[in-house]
Amino acid sequence: MTRRSILVLGAGFVGAAVADHLAVDNDVIVRDIPDHPELARRDADAERLVLDLVAGGVTAVVNTCGRLRGTDDEMVDANVSFPAWLVGVLAGSGVRLVHLGSAGEYGDPGSPDPIPETAVVHPVGIYGESKWAGTAAVLDARAAGLDAVVGRGFNLVSRHLAPVSPLYQFVHDVTALPPGGGAVELWWPATIRDHILLADLSAGVAALASMESVPDLVNLCSGVGVSFAAIVEALAARQHKAVEITSLDRPGIPAVVGDPTRLRELCGIHPEMSADLIAERAGI
């Protein structure tokens, strides 16, 4: 297999996992935005940095940068302005852009049925709206001729998660219970989400950066819906604690489950998922 040179933007735990996966068969360059003021400013020096790497043989750029929380301006800057700048720099370069999108772009699908990439999106809140605007910028550039694909990441399972992740909170709450167990409050225990292991998501992103041709969108998901209550129960069982789940009766979007058909057929990745697997891979 011919080794490729791939630039990964973002050195957080997702970017690092993607870089590690890619490094098995490729030469990988990682640039973290906070450590490169030019990239953060998106000025002429930043454009030169990216284009110099392209001229040096980079065949794909993977963008894992983005924000989960922040002010509206911060969210738009990270999730919209940066990918919009990036597609402008890469236009006409012949280099592929792999952009990490989010299941939050779908919003409320209205049913627990698996969502295909062709579904109409209805993002809710600044996170989903800003991620969708960033994805739209990439898709518009693809329509104009850029070799680009969006990998829509669903809920990550890893021991390294942002504190804003519900899964992070579940692990924290169960671990904080005394040995005899206790109660854990959930906004709405019946909430169902699709989770994917960080290893499977990074493998999917790596495949999109390396394959000959790509579609516009690929769901990075397991296709398995697991309730919040089931996750907490599995975490408690793994720690040998009795748990009582109480509800704050604040339902949000009832269910978001992705259709992983493209991920399986194009990338050869078949993610497994269950409450027990989540507890094993995310628990302490």
Q: Is residue 267 part of a domain?
A: no
Give the per-residue pLDDT at 148.
98
Q: Do 170 and 119 share a domain, yes or no?
A: no
Reduce the DSSP state of residue 227 to 3 states and report it: strand
| Same domain as 127, residue 233 | no
Q: Are residues 61 and 199 in the same domain?
A: yes
Range of the domain at 79: 5-156+194-220
Q: Are strands 192-197 and 225-227 parallel, antiparallel or unpaired?
A: antiparallel
- Which positions ≥6 away from 198 have C-beta within 8 Å? 13, 14, 17, 156, 157, 158, 160
17 and 56 co-located in one domain:
yes
Question: Nearest 5°: phi and psi at 268?
Answer: 70, 25
Coil, strand or helix at 115: strand
Are the CB atoms for 208 and 271 separated by under 8 Å?
A: no
Q: Are residues 102 and 207 in the same domain?
A: yes
Number of domains in the chain: 2
Instruction: Kindly report, residue by residue over 32-57, the tens digit of the pLDDT.
Output: 886 777 788 888 888 898 898 888 89
Question: Cα(276)–Cα(283) distance, rounded to whole angstroms?
Answer: 10
**What pLDDT, on the 0 to 100 scale, is given for residue 146?**
97
- Identify the segments of the chain with pLDDT beneath 70: 1, 34, 284
- Tell me if 265 is assigned to some domain: no
Residues 36 and 109 in one domain: yes
CB distance 78 to 67 below 8 Å: yes
Q: Answer yes or no: is 260 within a domain.
A: no
